[in-house]
Amino acid sequence: MQRIEKSGFQYPNLIVNSILFTFEDVLGLNGLNTALKFAGLSELVNNYPDSNLEFGADFADISSLFQSIEEIYGIRGSHALLTRAGRRILVSYRDKFAPLMTFYNLELKPLSHEERIKHGLDYIIKMLTQTGNQEVSSFDTKDAIIYQITNCSICFGRPKVDHAVCHMTAGIIQEALNWVSEGKEYQVLETACMAKGDPYCEFRISKESVISSKA
């Protein structure tokens, strides 16, 4: 496949490091190496950035990896893999920053259920989009919270397709909701995506939980 041209926007190494280790987990080392080579990213094979806060990989490197995963595993297969990877990335972030996250959780505790969800999501989505001119706006409808992300790093430069591709973001949001709601599951849909030609990527999060893992 054609590697996506550099965007000039970079991720902190820590994020790229945790994305690559998570995919090593989800795809296996051989699977990840195949996807990296297919994406034209051989320089990252067995050579991940350190987990520091310096700026390293370009947005286009990561979106090239996601494109490669979709071409190798198909639309449905990659949807499942990328959602799972997104959830795991948040779990590993939570483990890595356990004291900070525990503190944050205590701050959320006194809030109402709906406020907790809103604040928790704002925190996670801001963390995801703090670099590269990404902008986030959000609003509420009667039964959903809507987030819109412009200049989305996840689908940066992806070839135009007829379906949404930012499944990793949806997975991260699902896991964030599970965390702030203490074990509940919510439906998260990507209802617009820049890869489809939309002006932003939009995520619709239903306010009503679907399943409780504690039930």
The least CB distance from residue 135 to Zn ion, in Å, is 14
Which is nearer to Zn ion, 41 or 155 (by Cβ)? 155
Q: Which residues bind Zn ion (CB under 5 A)?
A: 155, 166, 193, 201
Whole-angstrom distance, CA of residue 88 vs CA of residue 90:
5
The least CB distance from residue 198 to Zn ion, in Å, is 8
What is the DSSP pairing of strand 55-58 with strand 135-140?
unpaired
The least CB distance from residue 72 to Zn ion, in Å, is 19
Residue 160, CA atoms < 13 Å, CB-side half-sphere: 4
The least CB distance from residue 39 to Zn ion, in Å, is 18
Which is nearer to Zn ion, 160 or 214 (by Cβ)? 160
The least CB distance from residue 169 to Zn ion, in Å, is 7
Max CA separation in the chain (angstroms): 50
Which is nearer to Zn ion, 17 or 148 (by Cβ)? 148
Burial class (CB in 10 A: 0-12, 13-18, 19+), 167: buried
The least CB distance from residue 194 to Zn ion, in Å, is 5
Nearest to 148 by CA among 134, 164, 137, 132: 137
Cα-based distances in Å from 35 to 141, 204, 210:
39, 29, 34
Which is nearer to Zn ion, 92 or 191 (by Cβ)? 191
Phi, psi of 172 (to 5 degrees): -65, -40
Which is nearer to Zn ion, 35 or 166 (by Cβ)? 166
Q: Is 94 left (phi over 0), alpha (psi -120 to 50) or beta?
A: alpha
Which is nearer to Zn ion, 60 or 201 (by Cβ)? 201
